[in-house]
């Protein structure tokens, strides 16, 4: 009889903890629909409901405490003491999982890793093409507009005078007609147009630039979204820097990179804590690459309520501990 009732009492506390987890999960689901002010209200309401339930079980336990022996009391007290430390250790992240290029040898010069293949133009790319001549009027018929004035303009102005690569990989250029640019580098396109321009003008130069040099960084970074490549050889660390770095919830060991190749999309997984990352063929980023940072653990309300959610969990743990300890005073 004693063990049956002891088991029943502990089972009630276990169900109480499940109820607390379920209420916390419901609160987290509502975070997608409610703003922070309402989330704080429901968080407080959850604590009140939990407090009421625990008072009920406290009264129940007061009637049954004489059934517990001193040995059981000591075990429960020990459990209450180690529970907070166990939770803290289980919620922490080892330092080696947070450090980029962990344990890399410093004060040493490393050979450069493999450079990525030069970007090949594909459908829907935007090319800014300008013919420059000593006399701008002579080159005007080969340009979309008077681009001599647009060189120092904003990127939005440049997009208004770009050539969009169609689904067949072609652009239609004044006087030169359709030009196949798909799977060609920017330099190869410049050479093709330069040969055509030389038939009309002498001493003219052709300038070609890929306008939509964007990458996309998603997941657990501070500033996700599309980012403009600021240089040709952009590393994955620089790309993450453009997005504000990986957040505290991000997994640095399973960063996914999606790269579109002529034969399809290629996905690789990178461990940024590994020093060998600097030798990876994917260390350098290409235009249109997608970087996705996964969650390191399942995160509930802490992302939306960085202060109140941890306090709510802590309050629940402390309340359960005080309940058990007060039974045996």
What CATH number corresponds to the domain at position 269?
3.10.560.10
Give the pLDDT confidence score for residue 35 in this predicted structure.
45
Same domain, 139 and 71: no
Same domain, 69 and 15: yes
Same domain, 258 and 308: no
Give the pLDDT confidence score for residue 46 in this predicted structure.
64
DSSP per position, 244-281:
T-B-TTB-TTSEEEEEEETTEEEEEEE-TTSGGGGGST
186 occurs within a structural domain: yes
Give the pLDDT confidence score for residue 210 in this predicted structure.
93
Q: Are 221 and 237 in contact (CB under 8 A)?
A: no
Give the pLDDT confidence score for residue 317 in this predicted structure.
62
110 occurs within a structural domain: no
169 occurs within a structural domain: yes
Same domain, 130 and 168: yes
Give the pLDDT confidence score for residue 156 in this predicted structure.
55
Same domain, 89 and 35: yes
pTM tops 0.75, yes or no: no
- The C-alpha atoms of residue 100 and residue 250 are separated, in whole angstroms, by 12
113 occurs within a structural domain: no
Same domain, 231 and 255: yes
Give the pLDDT confidence score for residue 247 in this predicted structure.
92
Strands (E), 17-157: 126-132
- Angle at the Cα of 157 from the Cα atoms of 152 and 160, rounded to 5 degrees: 135
* Domain of residue 172, CATH code: 3.30.1950.10
Bridge partners (DSSP) of residue 268 are 257
Give the pLDDT confidence score for residue 116 in this predicted structure.
84
- The C-alpha atoms of residue 206 and residue 192 are separated, in whole angstroms, by 10
- Domain boundary among the residues 210, 244, 270 is at 210
Q: Beta strand 255-261 with 290-293: parallel, antiparallel or unpaired?
A: antiparallel
Give the pLDDT confidence score for residue 277 in this predicted structure.
95
117 occurs within a structural domain: no
- Domain boundary among the residues 185, 210, 235 is at 210
Same domain, 204 and 227: no
Domain that holds residue 281: 214-293
Give the pLDDT confidence score for residue 7 in this predicted structure.
43
Bridge partners (DSSP) of residue 117 are none
53 occurs within a structural domain: yes
115 occurs within a structural domain: no
Same domain, 78 and 15: yes
Same domain, 199 and 235: no
- The C-alpha atoms of residue 85 and residue 80 are separated, in whole angstroms, by 10
Give the pLDDT confidence score for residue 1 in this predicted structure.
47
Give the pLDDT confidence score for residue 271 in this predicted structure.
96
Q: How many domains does the chain have?
A: 3
Same domain, 179 and 255: no
230 occurs within a structural domain: yes
Same domain, 194 and 229: no
Same domain, 151 and 196: yes
Q: Kindly give the confidence (pLDDT) of every residue in the chain, 329 residues in length, as a single tens digit, with 9 standing for 90 and above.
A: 444 444 444 445 445 444 445 544 444 444 444 444 555 565 666 667 666 666 665 565 565 555 554 555 555 555 555 555 555 555 556 777 889 999 899 999 998 888 888 899 999 999 999 999 988 888 989 998 754 444 444 555 666 779 999 999 999 999 999 999 999 999 999 999 999 999 999 889 999 999 889 999 999 999 999 999 988 889 999 999 999 999 988 999 999 999 998 888 999 999 999 999 999 999 999 999 999 999 987 554 445 444 445 555 666 666 666 666 565 55
């Amino acid at each position: 009889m004693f063990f049956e009732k002891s088991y029943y009492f502990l089972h009630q506390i276990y169900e109480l903890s499940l109820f607390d987890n379920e209420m916390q999960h419901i609160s987290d689901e509502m975070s997608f629909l409610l703003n922070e002010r309402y989330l704080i209200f429901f968080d407080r309401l959850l604590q009140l409901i939990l407090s009421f339930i625990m008072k009920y079980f406290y009264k129940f336990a007061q009637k049954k405490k004489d059934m517990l022996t001193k040995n059981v009391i000591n075990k429960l007290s020990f459990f209450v003491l180690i529970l907070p430390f166990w939770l803290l250790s289980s919620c922490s992240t080892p330092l080696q999982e947070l450090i980029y290029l962990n344990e890399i040898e410093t004060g040493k010069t490393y050979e450069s890793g493999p450079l990525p293949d030069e970007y090949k133009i594909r459908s829907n790319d935007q090319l800014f093409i300008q013919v420059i001549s000593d006399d701008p009027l002579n080159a005007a018929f080969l340009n979309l507009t008077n681009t001599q004035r647009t060189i120092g303009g904003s990127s939005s102005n440049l997009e208004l005078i770009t050539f969009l690569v169609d689904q067949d990989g072609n652009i239609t250029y004044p006087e030169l007609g359709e030009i196949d640019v798909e799977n060609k580098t920017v330099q190869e396109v410049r050479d093709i147009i330069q040969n055509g321009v030389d038939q009309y003008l002498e001493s003219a130069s052709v300038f070609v630039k890929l306008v939509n040099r964007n990458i996309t960084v998603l997941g657990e970074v501070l500033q996700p979204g599309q980012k403009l490549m600021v240089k040709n050889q952009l590393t994955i660390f620089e790309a993450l820097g453009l997005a504000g770095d990986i957040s505290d919830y991000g997994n640095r060991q399973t960063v996914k990179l999606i790269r579109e190749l002529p034969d399809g999309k290629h996905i690789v997984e990178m461990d940024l804590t590994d020093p060998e990352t600097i030798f990876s063929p994917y260390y350098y980023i290409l235009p249109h690459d997608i970087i996705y940072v996964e969650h390191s653990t399942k995160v509930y309300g802490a992302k939306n309520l960085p202060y109140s959610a941890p306090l709510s969990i802590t309050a629940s743990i402390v309340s359960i501990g005080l309940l058990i300890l007060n039974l045996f005073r």
